[in-house]
Amino acid sequence: MRKDTARKIEAGAGKPPGWLDEDHGEDGNTSPALERTGRVPLISWVRAGEFASAADLLQPGDAYEWIDTSTPVRAHTFALRVEGDSMEPEFMAGTILVVEPDIAAQPGDYVIAKNGDQEATFKQLVRDGADLYLKPLNPRYPIKPLGDSTIVGVVRESVKRYR
């Protein structure tokens, strides 16, 4: 039954019989998947917009969910889910971000920042002269000075899930 199905697919795609039984390597619009290197805890959400409360009620080692990642995992790597639209179109609400707190942020990096009230936001870190700013990708939102806010971590990977 499986070979019959394969032959029908091959015929419908204009491929010779047995084509699906062979390894074709990279084929136009596909490439091998990135190797998964570890799992990180999805611990909370982050607001892509204004600063918002970032309370996390989980104990160390707990998670709402575990996220597979292809980025190197360190001791404190974690994941957050984006809410809001200030980082659209690149990062839609629901996108999962893999965040590394143990590397220094550089201008151009996507970062998670907290203000003095422990409220968090997700933005791109940019430099203008000697000053650093938190820049949304959506032009409807203002760029804000980094000021007294601290960088919690650098986004290393984004994961989009559709279903």
Ordered by where they begin, the domains of the chain are 1-32 (no CATH), 33-159 (2.10.109.10)
Question: What is the model's pLDDT at position 24?
Answer: 62
Question: What is the model's pLDDT at position 14?
Answer: 75
Average pLDDT, consecutive stretches of 10 residues, N- to C-terminus, the chain (163 residues): 70 76 62 64 64 46 76 87 92 92 95 85 95 96 93 92 72
Question: What is the model's pLDDT at position 20?
Answer: 73
Question: What is the model's pLDDT at position 56?
Answer: 47
Question: What is the model's pLDDT at position 119?
Answer: 82
Question: What is the model's pLDDT at position 66?
Answer: 87
Question: What is the model's pLDDT at position 1?
Answer: 47
Contacts of 41 (CB under 8 A, 6+ apart): 58, 61, 62, 63, 64, 65, 66, 67, 78, 79
Quote the CA–CA distance of 158 and 163 in Å, as a whole number: 16
Question: What is the model's pLDDT at position 32?
Answer: 54
